[in-house]
Amino acid sequence: MTKKTILDEDCSLELSFLLDSSESAKDNHEREKQFAMDMVDRLQGAGLPTGRRLSSRVALLQYSSHVIKEQTFRNWKGAEDFRNRITPITYIGHGTYTTYAITNITQIYQEESRPGSIKVVVLLTDGVSHPRNPDIFSAVADAKNQDIKFFILGITRAANEPANVAERRLLASSPASRFLHNLQDENIVEKIFTEAVSMMSCLSADNT
């Protein structure tokens, strides 16, 4: 029993979603929510290549001119409770202040994360921040220095424009080919799940 407990702790994933809830995300807000719920469903009871069980907790924040903490790790009660929390939320509909979302989730990891867990953020964004948004790159750098990995998902056509792709590429963890995606990508849930699992320290000594 002791060995199993240790293995479960070694295979702990703390996954968070930052949902773009700005005015420009209105037409994609429901799809963002559905993606998060589909990801949570995929994590439940997931087995790992070694046969060990994946232990996971999930947080979700939505952001616009301010941040709403819809679900934190501390109040995680499973997939059904998560769905009940997320289904009724509505979008905020103001400007896109992505930096606030990043600094808020970094603080949540600092206060609530368990030792040894893999910390993964999925940032959903249209790729266009408000002109007055504080320095996003220093916020991401601070988070990455605390071993937080960033998947960046574009949610609109604007996110695929060259200038916006360039910014998203700088936000994503490296290599961008693994961490930079679009919400409309085929099998996006499975792609993110597979990449997240590949980072589990219990599967490899090379925790990239």
DSSP string, 72-129: -STT---HHHHHHHHTT-----S---HHHHHHHHHHHHHHHPPTT-EEEEEEEE-S--
Mean pLDDT of the chain: 87
| Sequence spans of domains, the chain | 23-42+67-198
pLDDT the model gives residue 54: 83
What is d(CA 143, CA 135) in angstroms, rounded to the nearest whole number?
Answer: 13
pLDDT the model gives residue 88: 97
Q: Give the class (CATH, top level) of 23-42+67-198.
A: alpha beta
pLDDT the model gives residue 142: 95
DSSP SS3 for 31: helix
Which of 9-13, 52-56, 172-176, 194-198 shows the lowest mean pLDDT across its residues?
Answer: 9-13
Contact, 105 vs 143, CB < 8 A? yes
pLDDT at 144 over 60: yes
Contact, 126 vs 19, CB < 8 A? no
**Average pLDDT value for residue range 119-145:** 90
pLDDT the model gives residue 97: 93
Peptide bond before residue 175 is cis, with ω within 30 degrees of 0? yes
The first and second tokens of residue 167, run together, are 């910014």
CA-based end-to-end distance of the chain: 29
Residue 18 φ then ψ, to 5° = -110, 105
* pLDDT category of residue 110 using cuts at 50, 70 and 90: very high
Alpha helices in the chain (DSSP H): 2-10, 29-43, 79-86, 98-112, 136-144, 162-171, 176-179, 188-198
Structural Rg of the chain based on CA atoms:
16
Q: How far is CA 44 from CA 5, 24, 95, 204, in A?
A: 18, 32, 34, 22
- The model's pTM is 0.89
Q: Report the share of the chain in percent with pLDDT over 90.
A: 64
**Average pLDDT value for residue range 156-174:** 81
pLDDT at 148 over 60: yes
pLDDT at 98 over 90: yes
